[in-house]
Amino acid sequence: MMAKHFTAKEIEGLNPMLVERLDWAREQSGVPFTITSGYRPGDPKAHGKGLAVDIRCSQSMPRFRMIQALQNVGFRRIGVYNLHVHADVAEEPDFPQDVMWWGESD
């Protein structure tokens, strides 16, 4: 799988649709996307299915542009944290859609 804005290591184990949308969002936002957590083997949630990433972000203006671009390209599940933004393409019934949440980074 090829990606314009991500290394092979960053996207290893990730769903191709997720990677494609991330590339589009990165292009639209004009903000660098550094994936700090992608595929997590053994995780029963979206990360463990290769359907989620955490993207480093700690400032309000880049965060706004990033979230706006993620929504524009079809992300329907976004977590906003103090040091990162979580984006995933997990689907119902296990994962509710059209949600955004706030949290503290570990």
Nearest to 54 by CA among 3, 2, 105: 105
**What does the pLDDT look like over 28-76, one tens digit per residue?**
999 999 999 999 999 999 999 999 999 999 999 999 999 999 999 999 9
Domain architecture of the chain: domains with CATH: 8-103 (3.30.1380.10)
Answering whether pTM is above 0.85, one says yes
Confidence bin at 106 (pLDDT 50/70/90)? confident
**What does the pLDDT look like over 64-103, one tens digit per residue?**
999 999 999 999 999 999 999 999 999 999 999 999 999 9
CA pair distance 62, 31, nearest whole angstrom: 6
pLDDT the model gives residue 92: 92
Q: Is 29:65 a contact under the CB 8 Å cutoff?
A: yes
pLDDT the model gives residue 2: 80
Q: Please compute the mean of the pLDDT values over residues 4-15 and round it to a whole number.
A: 95
Residue 69's identity, in one-letter code, is A
